[in-house]
Amino acid sequence: MAERRFHARTIFLVAYLLFAIIPVYWMINMSLRTNQEIVSAFSFFPRAVTLEHYRTIFTDESWYSGYINSLIYVALNTVISLFVALPAAYAFSRYRFIGDKHVFFWLLTNRMTPPAVFLLPFFQLYSTLGLMDTHIAVAMAHLVFNVPLAVWILEGFMSGIPREIDETAYIDGYTFPRFFGTVFLPLIKSGVGVAAFFCFMFSWVELLMARTLTSVNAKPIVAVMTRTVSASGMDWGVLAAAGVVTLVPGAIVIWFVRHYIAKGFAMGRV
Amino acid sequence: MPHVHPSCSLTDVARIDLDLAHSYAANPQRDTDYALRPMKMSFEDGGAYALLGPSGCGKTTMLNIISGLLAPSQGTVRFNGVEVTLRSPQDRNIAQVFQFPVVYDTMTVAENLAFPLRNRGVASARIAARVGQIAELLDLNPQLDRRAAGLSADAKQRISLGRGLVREDVSAVLFDEPLTVIDPQLKWQLRRKLKQIHAELKLTLIYVTHDQVEALTFADQIVVMMQGRAVQTGSASELYERPAHPFVGYFIGSPGMNFLPARAEAMSDAWTIAEQRVTVDEAMRSASGSEQQFTLGVRPEYVAIAQPHAAGAICAQVTQVQDIGTYLLLSARVGEGEHSAIVRARLHAESTTPAIGEQVWLSVVNAQSCVYVDDRLTERVEAAAR
Amino acid sequence: MKPVNQKAWWLILPVVLCVAFSAVLPLMTVVNYSVQDIISPERRVFVGTEWFAAVLRDPDLHAALLRQVIYSVCVLLVEVPLGIALALSMPAKGWRSSLVLVTVAMSLLIPWNVVGTIWQIFGRTDIGLLGATLVKMGVDYNYAGHAGDAWATVLLMDVWHWTPLVALLCFAGLRAIPDAYYQAARIDGASKLAVFRFIQLPKLRDVLMIAVLLRFMDSFMIYTEPFVLTGGGPGNATTFLSQYLTQKAVGQFDLGPAAAFSLIYFLLILLLCFVLYQWMQRVGHEQGQDPMPDGANG
């Protein structure tokens, strides 16, 4: 039980953490230097710290609207995913019914489908519906992979709750909605936290569908950044700053669900 | 932790002496800073002990200190006078069985039992013989070649126990609530097996539990613990008849002891119990000595229905009568409002009882009653009882 | 046993509708296209399985498939052991645990194109730390020019990006092992290797299965990160299946073959996942793994 300061594990862990952080640090480094400095001098620390890139992002509408758009459709998607996945996960966890195994497997296959497969059909579908370049279109497109994942995760957690709790509640006179909301949900809240985290994550980072389905109004930040890349004079500084700012919501989300991740997984079948 | 070479033999007997305290705080000042308050305790060789108490009382902490999984923040642990405080568990010749059956899923039962011996480099022939012996003792022979993963919880606990017993140098076996996950109908079988092992192998057994029935049936000596200290150590009947602390009286017995506030006046032949004046005979009066305020404790088994205004009886109002099958449990309220107390009496199954709401006189002061001053049983009572 | 209740279909109806709308309709479109020759929006000719045959004969496709398989295998071979090792080194409790957890999980939450961008910059020999350091050490490194360097950089990027997923899953799995197992192992005198082999690894099998399946699926479908980093180059050295499909569908507007390819792609992943899953189940059973490894059942 003694603390081993120079044990192989600690060295390995520190080495990995450095490996994890250095590329991110490099990006932060670049975001704080002027474009000239970036291209001309190579140094570990900025010679002259500048916040001009961040200012650009927060004032230039084409940049910050990208963030807002992303946040909107990610939030929409997470809410819808959880909303439909919760009752479905309950059904899979508690009951047997015709086609239950097949439907569950079919759901998982949607997670395995390359997004590239859906590209053209989605393009046509949402054009036909007149939903191109809207937040709801991207939110709905992302349901393809998030809903199955949410159902998969939530079903695992729900199966960990003994059925006696349901039965006791019904005997006590609870209706199903009331039971679900006041008794069941609090018991699986770490599962909901984990599922929400993954829905947020996979939707926030997805590029292909988000770029294909949007042009101006709902253009997400991921697409704004690629636009910069394809331009001839690379605006490295602003790009790096944009990258840094995209980290922030993610970091906040992890910080809030950190306990759920470690503890929550353990309770579910996952 | 320095590795102490186990040159001193602990194989023959295991008298365990504890003189320690344990705290998770750096500088413990008050009693509440301690998980185990400063204490001295001894476990005689070959005895069967139970550490009994509610959750959080420190019994598992004490067990882990004895086994070496935890080192006490102050004090020493000695086996046969040899200090082992900093020795690791594998150097202490103890075995421990945990609440959840611990088996190595990927191994067969036989490989599980052989594991501790293999780790110590014992010769294969000896391992095989020993595994056979222990499997025989624990009725594991039919399953020796099956994978440990698929067996029932009680079989897995026997395997856990077997891994402890298979080492020939083991002199003490420690149990941490081992029957928790066992089916009720199998619990008594496992308990009987433990007693059988105790009788045959003559090991020191220390058993942690919060279930008094388990403690009372398993152990010769029971240590009742509360909030980090051992409140009383004794045999089942000692704990039952003469609980040294109100907590012991309350915890042991089903239901536990009744407690009533009482007052004695000098030069009077009566005590005031729960605001009622009760005549008390001289032998009992001397039990309270010169104390003015004390607590009277009496077990429901010794509370009887008495004649109105009889000596040692109080008046109460019946609130409930339960037919438990082998006896009746009468609950009655003494006093009014805030200061009222419930007194319970165990009556013969055939007795007639007043209806709910009626008055009843209950004899509470008798030879089995205990007087507690400052949470301690007064010595006079023992003199009076003799 | 779970009770039978056909009314449960009401509960899964929202999910089925959502996913069907998002998946079945488009998929039907794809199937539709895959059997037609769309010369112009008005002129469509039914060609049956001709596109499928053509796609399967396409040597460019074979090349992309080979590259993809090699990529996925390399990814799994590195990320799974590394993830397990990382999970074993991460502290379990205290403030250190939170800090390490957040740092490790960070790379998962970076948008994939930002990941590509970070490494694109990082690998440049003029302004990137990695590129510049390698050049200073005398290594002739150029990920835009040399195929080998491109492969190495793309793989390194994937390892950096996704190992935490494996690590997080394993970390959580390890937390589920009750302390009693470790304590009993101490008393039994087990070595650290024995603890890993007989306690930790068996308990991790369930979680590892999910990690392996997810990583395989996702690496087989990978698009954004390599695309941003190398654009598929140099040449088509790092053009994997997804990018090949997108080139065909979007770039060349050859809908028929693209649709056929999409279906084949999807079925391929399905088949490989199925095989992988069955294999892992069998290996798990041979080792005598308890199908319901939770403490209460014993």
Residue of B nearest to A4 (CA): B1
Contacting residues of A for C259, CB less than 8 Å apart: 120
CB-based burial label for A71 (10 Å; 0-12, 13-18, 19+): middle
Contacting residues of B for A1, CB less than 8 Å apart: 1, 71
B1 touches chain A (CB under 8 A): yes
Residue C288 pLDDT > 60, yes or no?
no
CA distance A126 to B152: 56
Residue B298 sits at φ, ψ, to 5 deg, of -150, 135
Residue A217 pLDDT > 90, yes or no?
no
65-124 of B, contacting C, C-beta below 8 A? 67, 69, 88-90, 94-96, 98-102, 104-107, 115-116, 119-120
Which of C250, C241, C294, C190 lies closest to C58 in space, CA to CA? C241
Residue of A nearest to C211 (CA): A270
Instruction: Give the number of beta-carbon pairs within 8 Å between A and B.
Output: 3
Same domain, B180 and B281: no
Structural domain count of chain B = 2
Check residue C89 and give its pLDDT: 92
Asked if C190's CB is within 8 angstroms of B95's CB, the reply is no
Higher pLDDT, A191 or A166: A166
Instruction: Provide the pLDDT confidence category of residue A258 given band limits of 50, 70 and 90.
Output: confident
A216 touches chain B (CB under 8 A): no
Shortest Cα distance, chain C CAs vs residue B274, angstroms: 47
Residue A12 pLDDT > 90, yes or no?
yes
Check residue A13 and give its pLDDT: 93
Contacting residues of A for C27, CB less than 8 Å apart: 117, 121
B17-34 pLDDT per residue, tens: 888 888 887 777 777 788
CB A155 within 8 A of CB A92: yes
Residue C133 pLDDT > 90, yes or no?
no
Instruction: Provide the pLDDT confidence category of residue B206 given band limits of 50, 70 and 90.
Output: very high
Same domain, B65 and B131: yes
> C85 to each of A15, C6, C167, C182, C200, how far by Cα in Å?
12, 45, 8, 18, 12
Asked if A97's CB is within 8 angstroms of C223's CB, the reply is no
CB B35 within 8 A of CB B23: yes
CA distance A143 to A148: 8
Which of A43, A117, A146 has the highest number of chain C CBs within 10 A, making it the mutation to test binding with C?
Answer: A117
Same domain, B167 and B39: yes
Shortest Cα distance, chain A CAs vs residue C137, angstroms: 15
**Coil vs helix vs strand at C31:** helix
B147 touches chain C (CB under 8 A): yes
Check residue C74 and give its pLDDT: 94
Gyration radius from chain A CA atoms: 23
CB atoms within 10 A of CB C128: 22
Asked if C270's CB is within 8 angstroms of A266's CB, the reply is no
Contacting residues of C for B164, CB less than 8 Å apart: 187
Which residues form the domain of C242?
A: 58-253
**Coil vs helix vs strand at C95:** helix
Q: Buried (b) or exposed (e) across A169-186, using 16+ Cβ within 10 A?
A: beeeebeeeebbeebbee
Contacting residues of A for B1, CB less than 8 Å apart: 1-2
Same domain, B229 and B285: no
Place of tokens 């009886």: B313
Q: Which range scores top for mean pLDDT: A138-152, C93-107, C195-209, C249-263? A: A138-152
**Percentage with pLDDT > 70 across chain B:** 93
Shortest Cα distance, chain C CAs vs residue A226, angstroms: 7
CATH at A228: 1.10.3720.10
Same domain, B221 and B140: yes
Shortest Cα distance, chain C CAs vs residue B153, angstroms: 5
Cα angle for residues B64, B103, B164 (degrees, 5° grid): 50
Of C183, C287, C288, the CB nearest to B98: C183
The structure tokens listed for C179 are: 């302390």
CA distance B295 to B377: 9
Structural domain count of chain C = 1
Q: Buried (b) or exposed (e) across C91-101, using 16+ Cβ within 10 A?
A: beeeeebbebb
Check residue C283 and give its pLDDT: 67
B146-187 pLDDT per residue, tens: 888 878 888 898 999 899 888 888 888 999 998 887 888 888
The structure tokens listed for A151 are: 């159902």
Omega into C234 within 30° of 0, i.e. cis?
A: yes
Q: Buried (b) or exposed (e) across C64-80, using 16+ Cβ within 10 A?
A: bbebbeebbebbbebbb
Asked if C4's CB is within 8 angstroms of A265's CB, the reply is no
Residue of B nearest to A2 (CA): B1
Asked if C207's CB is within 8 angstroms of A97's CB, the reply is no
Which of C149, C142, C150, C146 lies closest to C126 in space, CA to CA? C142
Shortest Cα distance, chain A CAs vs residue C240, angstroms: 12
Average pLDDT, chain B: 84
Shortest Cα distance, chain B CAs vs residue C82, angstroms: 24
Asked if C90's CB is within 8 angstroms of A247's CB, the reply is no
Residue of A nearest to C295 (CA): A267
Residue B320 pLDDT > 80, yes or no?
yes
Give the sheet arrangement for strand B229-234, strand by strand: B94-97, B172-176, B204-209, B48-52, B221-226, B229-234
The structure tokens listed for A255 are: 């910080």
CA distance A156 to A163: 14
Q: Is C91 contained in some domain?
A: yes
CB C100 within 8 A of CB A249: no
Of C15, C21, C33, the CB nearest to A151: C15
Shortest Cα distance, chain C CAs vs residue B79, angstroms: 17
Average pLDDT, chain A: 80
CB-based burial label for B315 (10 Å; 0-12, 13-18, 19+): middle
Residue B38 pLDDT > 70, yes or no?
yes
Q: Is A1 contained in some domain?
A: no
B180 touches chain C (CB under 8 A): no
Same domain, B69 and B133: yes
CB A25 within 8 A of CB C106: no
Check residue B221 and give its pLDDT: 92
Residue C76 pLDDT > 90, yes or no?
yes
Same domain, B191 and B219: yes
Asked which of A36-40, B37-41, B260-264 is least confident by mean pLDDT, the reply is: A36-40
Contacting residues of B for A3, CB less than 8 Å apart: none
Same domain, B223 and B108: yes
C203-243 pLDDT per residue, tens: 787 778 778 888 988 898 888 888 888 888 788 888 888 88
**Percentage with pLDDT > 90 across chain C:** 14
Same domain, B220 and B322: no
**Coil vs helix vs strand at B210:** coil
Check residue C174 and give its pLDDT: 81
Contacting residues of A for C263, CB less than 8 Å apart: 117
Q: Which chains touch A (3 or more CB pairs under 8 A)?
A: B, C
B360-371 pLDDT per residue, tens: 888 888 888 888
The structure tokens listed for A268 are: 């579910």
Which of B45, B46, B47, B28 lies closest to B36 in space, CA to CA? B28
Check residue B290 and give its pLDDT: 65
Asked which of A168-172, A184-188, B286-290 is least confident by mean pLDDT, the reply is: B286-290
Average pLDDT (B346-355) is: 82
Residue B296 sits at φ, ψ, to 5 deg, of -100, 130
Residue C294 pLDDT > 70, yes or no?
no
Shortest Cα distance, chain C CAs vs residue B279, angstroms: 56
Instruction: Provide the pLDDT confidence category of residue C296 given band limits of 50, 70 and 90.
Output: very low
| Beta strand pairing call for B359-363 and B341-348 | unpaired
Check residue A228 and give its pLDDT: 58
Check residue A84 and give its pLDDT: 92
Shortest Cα distance, chain B CAs vs residue C92, angstroms: 18
Asked if C186's CB is within 8 angstroms of B95's CB, the reply is no
CA distance B280 to B269: 6
Instruction: Give the number of beta-carbon pairs within 8 Å between A and C.
Output: 276
Q: Which residues contact A60 (CB under 8 A, 6 or more apart)?
A: none
Contacting residues of C for A20, CB less than 8 Å apart: 103-104, 106-107, 160, 164
Q: Is C66 contained in some domain?
A: yes
Residue of B nearest to C187 (CA): B90
Q: Is B68 contained in some domain?
A: yes
Higher pLDDT, B384 or A244: A244
Which of B94, B100, B143 has the highest number of chain C CBs within 10 A, making it the mutation to test binding with C?
Answer: B100
Q: Is A11 contained in some domain?
A: no
Q: Which chains touch C (3 or more CB pairs under 8 A)?
A: A, B
Residue of A nearest to B3 (CA): A2
Asked if C187's CB is within 8 angstroms of B150's CB, the reply is no
> Which of these three, B241, B274, B292, is where a domain ends?
B241
Instruction: Provide the pLDDT confidence category of residue B203 given band limits of 50, 70 and 90.
Output: confident
Place of tokens 């937390």: C175
Q: Is A28 contained in some domain?
A: no
Q: Dmax over Cα atoms in chain A, in whole Å?
A: 75
Residue of A nearest to C174 (CA): A266
CATH at C143: 1.10.3720.10
Contacting residues of C for A148, CB less than 8 Å apart: 19
Residue B9 pLDDT > 60, yes or no?
no
In the DSSP assignment, the letter for residue A42 is: -
Structural domain count of chain A = 1
Q: Is B5 contained in some domain?
A: no
A41-90 pLDDT per residue, tens: 677 777 778 888 888 878 877 777 888 888 899 999 999 999 999 999 99
Asked if C288's CB is within 8 angstroms of B119's CB, the reply is no
Check residue B49 and give its pLDDT: 93
Which residues form the domain of B97?
A: 16-241
| Number of residues that make up chain A | 270
CB-based burial label for C253 (10 Å; 0-12, 13-18, 19+): exposed
CA distance A204 to C112: 9
CA distance B252 to B224: 9
Asked if B107's CB is within 8 angstroms of C298's CB, the reply is no
Contacting residues of B for A2, CB less than 8 Å apart: 1
Which of B77, B74, B65 lies closest to B25 in space, CA to CA? B74
CA distance B362 to A213: 85
DSSP string over A105-127: HHHHHHHTS-HHHHHHHHHHHHH
Instruction: Provide the pLDDT confidence category of residue C253 given band limits of 50, 70 and 90.
Output: low
Q: Is B87 contained in some domain?
A: yes
Residue of A nearest to B87 (CA): A1
Q: Which residues contact A111 (CB under 8 A, 6 or more apart)?
A: A145, A148, A149, A152, C217
Check residue C1 and give its pLDDT: 66
CB-based burial label for A152 (10 Å; 0-12, 13-18, 19+): buried
Residue of C nearest to B101 (CA): C298
Same domain, B61 and B202: yes
Instruction: Provide the pLDDT confidence category of residue C54 given band limits of 50, 70 and 90.
Output: confident
Which residues form the domain of A76?
A: 60-267
> Which of these three, B217, B241, B265, is where a domain ends?
B241
Check residue A4 and give its pLDDT: 52
CA distance A244 to C106: 12
Same domain, B327 and B379: yes
> Which of these three, B214, B241, B268, is where a domain ends?
B241
Average pLDDT, chain C: 82
